[in-house]
Amino acid sequence: MRRTVFHVLLVAVIAGSLGVSLMLRGDPAQPNRRVPTNMADSVAYDSFAPNPVFADGKTLQTPPAGSIARGYLPLHYQAGPEEAERAGKELSNPFAADPVVQLERGAAIYQSFCVVCHGAGGLGDGPVTRRGVPPPPSLLAENALQLSDGQMFHILTYGQNNMASYAAQISRDDRWRVILHVRSLQGKLATSQPSTPFGATSPETSEVQP
């Protein structure tokens, strides 16, 4: 008898709670009832929300003129030979004080980006020149020997005639490092060890691969 009463009560409770939950079912398109909480509603203004505090009514303020984004350094040069000359006068290699430490990276960059045209030893005999691409001037020739680091940096950054800009492929620091390698090929690096051109020791690497 007591069991029957218990079962009836149980069914009634279940049916009752089902009924209540059906009755309370709101519009699913609307947000549910919620306890006010700062985790859902930010006290701070959202970046793109209107803002009564500022005169222009925006939360995200326009940076003052001349602001420099973090991690970005502007370079105040344009393309062209005059600008290359100016860069040559104004810029110096930031790694000049400790070149040997940076050389390994510079050689790797040269191997990846320059060897194809300039050749392992910088003589302008890279593999593409044997496939019809006009050879670049030797980096050991008088003209290149006379270029200052800043001029070379400008050439790598903005390109020069047939040579394209490498600013998009090679970071600013790596452009300075690869110049160290060119100096080492030229025998102009003060602390230069005997400069073994990258890959020059194995004859296969300087051959055109079919």
For residues 178 and 110, the answer to whether their CB atoms sit within 8 Å is yes
Given a contact cutoff of 8 angstroms between Cβ atoms, the answer to whether 92 and 150 are in contact is: yes
- Judged by beta carbon, residue 2 or residue 131, the one nearer ligand HEC is 131
Binding mask 81-120 for ligand HEC (x = CB under 6 A): --------------------------------xx-xxx--
Q: Which is nearer to ligand HEC, 59 or 160 (CB)?
A: 160
> And the tokens for 131?
């496939």
161 lies in the binding site for ligand HEC (CB under 6 A)? yes
| 82, 89 contact by CB (below 8 A) | no
Closest to ligand HEC by CB, 37 or 162: 162
Query: Can you tell me which of 155, 180, 185, 189 binds ligand HEC, judged by CB under 6 A?
Result: 155
Residue closest to 101 by CA, chosen among 188, 16, 193? 193
Asked if residue 132 binds ligand HEC (CB under 6 A), the reply is no
CB nearer to ligand HEC: pick between 107 and 182: 182
In angstroms, rounded to a whole number, what is the distance separating the alpha carbons of residues 1 and 142?
113
Cβ-based neighbour number of residue 103 at 10 Å: 23
Match 């209540």 to its residue by tokens: 20
Under the rule (CB under 6 A), what is the footprint of ligand HEC?
113-114, 116-118, 136-137, 139, 143-144, 147, 152, 155-156, 160-163, 166, 170, 178, 182
